[in-house]
A and B are shown apart, each in its own frame.
Chain A
């Protein structure tokens, strides 16, 4: 089995994983229950599967599996919006940092695998760019003062973040297409 064949199902699953993690469509019922059409939990579970299966190709992916599973469980609270206000800030910070690191390392590893599997390294480079923008934007969202004083900046950051998400999804889709046996 070639590297390309091994990587194809991982890349496809990573795309769907991020599709569920980054996009959010829900109906909220009386602020108590939110019916999620693209639950993050499913996304993290898919990424955890990628980590388990990709461990053989890249050992550092294996280290992320526990994080992905924890985040999958954590994101169940998405269904219960009232819980959000009850969670101590400390736990939210911890989860936020784990999420930040997981995104970074997962995309770094995926980009490295893409470099190995596909000549030219174009996909890897684009994945790393999307990764960097995502991580920086997420970090800047901790600058509360900036956000409170310059709401316009917050809007710009959210727009840039959204563009980065879409760009990332396009790249992941492109990667899985490039790895597809039909290509």
Chain B
């Protein structure tokens, strides 16, 4: 816990569990044994030890999404040193971590106050224990018949003996203290009551003093939380009630009634609450509850431990361990839940995005792609998508662009949002179809390179302005694309997406059939032999969800859709919401190649290209079955002087449940190209790896020199 929000997260999570357990205890008050009534508090201790929202797991008592929203809302207007609006505040540890920098905002100061409070309580409890220790140190060691009586009780019930037994003048009731050197403290001259001694020795046997210290530690950590303090008090009472139960199980008949009388005699005593000490006298209210418990005393049926254990186990799983969010995503969250919980404010969008960071490469690309697709139609969801996949350091810029999209060349300050939508960005003019992913390959450093594509019809006014003929009936309407070449990087257990290059161009056909556009992938291998240049790019297409969103926004697709109507009478409606834990839905193989004759005469060329994959450091041909099947390529052609040939190999596709094995969706890591020019000898040429944009331009990876 390194900021006030983390403290709040942990405290709220534990407080809710405590409230739930209190309700549950009430429901099962007369049904489950005191052992269960006390043992069930283990669930609260687990909750206190396990950081809230650990591993982004969701439990039935989660309020952390709301706290996160509050943090984003508050921190967006502050310049805190300990908290950030861009980084989730879920605690990484259940204890506070002192800051090393000076506080700079209200929330920072609140954290400092929290730390001071925790320290003050720790000092207070420490002083109390020290004072008690000193006072007990002045007590008179018990000896003779009184010590013998204590020994007799211990032997009779096979219980451990405390290291010391002392009598103190100031003491009003017997109690046990000390973890390493347990000491039984008796009031001076107190008439020795065996049942009370039995009670204290049972505390010793079950290490209740240590349990008391553990609770005291949590009291210090959560000093501001009254619900937890109440629960800790109740835990203490349940510990005493359980000890009573253990005593009663060892007594018979009249002895049980005597024990009840002993308790009644203590009803007037003030509750003694000293850290690290157990005492039978826990105040009138506590004694009343214990007398009622004694009245309910019964030996529980065989097997009750099983029922108690099962209930506690189920509670621990549901309230502490929770379920993996990713698993939920795979079932329903992806398509349904997120739409239901579509964010309605900036803070909610950012918080929800941070809480559902992409956990798969496909999920990261999907969220990134839909973030742009929904940029105008569903602004909050678009921002949430960005928060899912963009690194935190880029988020201030993302938010600025989102709030003030002047980057698109419009003075939005002078028009309303509606005007902007109606005039500057009519819906058909935005990137309405996508996202599609092309040429996914490993970057060799644990990340991946990929092209993310969106499409739209070329606007009619553009065609007219450029003096181009409008397509006749039956002709494809020109489609333009926007391509972001991105790097998907691992970030802990999440994936972030980094924009490397943006390219815009036109494709000659609707890109929705199983045909890849004839343009370069994110990585291109280039080589040359005797004036013949060869380049090869992985150009396979990948989709998530159930295909492209907004297919029917493209005229070509919408107009030709009738031909599918026998089998598919309604337009496809793949999920528009992001699916940060999804896998790829479809793959269409493809290799884009070019061969160019830079010489000044006709040249016959034979070309063989064998795709290679990196398999544990060794490049080898298709280490099946992990990789997709890209067949070796063979081309024979006669090239005129200056001729450039290009093409896309492959084209077979698969869709549906393709599994989550990422290598299956990765393009080759290298190629071995063999050329035979002018009927000469076959030669393997050396290839250079270049980073390319679709139009053949280049980009650089962060930290690398620009490729030639």
Contact = CB atoms under 8 A, between A and B. Distances in A.
A108 B301 contact: yes
A139 interface: yes
B327 A112 contact: no
Contacts of A55: none
A90 B20 contact: yes
Interface in A65-80: none
A98 B27 contact: yes
B311 A63 contact: no
Contacts of B319: 93
A136 B310 contact: yes
A29 interface: no
Nearest to B31: A63
Interface residues of A, number: 28
A15 to B, nearest CB: 21
A105 B307 contact: yes
A105 B60 contact: no
B508 interface: no
Given A89-B60, A90-B61, A97 B311 contact: yes
A131 B303 CA distance: 10
Interface size class of B (residues with CB under 8 A): 20 to 34
A90 B315 CA distance: 11
Contacts of B322: 144
B323 A135 contact: no
B323 A97 contact: no
A104 B60 contact: no
B313 A139 contact: yes
B314 interface: yes
A93 B60 contact: yes
A97 B314 contact: yes
Contact of B314 (A105, A139, A145, A148): A139
B303 A132 contact: yes
A78 B464 CA distance: 62
Interface in B308-328: 310-311, 313-315, 317-319, 321-324, 327
B24 interface: yes
B29 to A, nearest CB: 10
A63 B30 contact: yes
Contact of A143 (B28, B307, B317): B317
Contacts of B301: 108, 112
A94 interface: yes
B62 to A, nearest CB: 9
A101 B307 CA distance: 7
Contact of B60 (A88, A100, A136, A148): A88
Nearest to A109: B301
A58 B334 CA distance: 51
B307 A104 contact: yes
A135 B30 contact: no
B24 A101 contact: no
Most chain A CB atoms below 10 A, which of B60, B310, B330: B310
Contacts of B310: 100, 104, 135-136, 138-139
A75 to B, nearest CB: 18
A136 to B, nearest CB: 7
Interface string A113-139: 000000000000000100110011011
B317 A135 contact: no
A63 to B, nearest CB: 6
B152 to A, nearest CB: 37
A128 B330 CA distance: 38
B61 A128 contact: no
B144 to A, nearest CB: 48
A136 B327 CA distance: 23
Interface in A132-183: 132, 135-136, 138-139, 142-145, 148
A97 B315 contact: yes
A92 B23 CA distance: 14
Nearest to A135: B310
A101 B311 CA distance: 8
A100 B24 contact: no
Contacts of B304: 108
By Cβ-Cβ distance, the 7 closest A-B pairs, closest first, are A89-B60, A144-B323, A148-B327, A139-B310, A104-B307, A142-B317, A142-B314
16 contacts: A88-B60, A89-B60, A90-B60, A93-B319, A96-B314, A97-B24, A97-B311, A98-B27, A101-B307, A104-B303, A104-B306, A108-B303, A136-B306, A145-B321, A145-B324, A148-B323
Interface of B: 20, 23-24, 27-28, 30-32, 60-61, 301, 303-304, 306-307, 310-311, 313-315, 317-319, 321-324, 327, 330
Interface of A: 63, 88-90, 92-94, 96-98, 100-101, 104-105, 108, 112, 128, 131-132, 135-136, 138-139, 142-145, 148
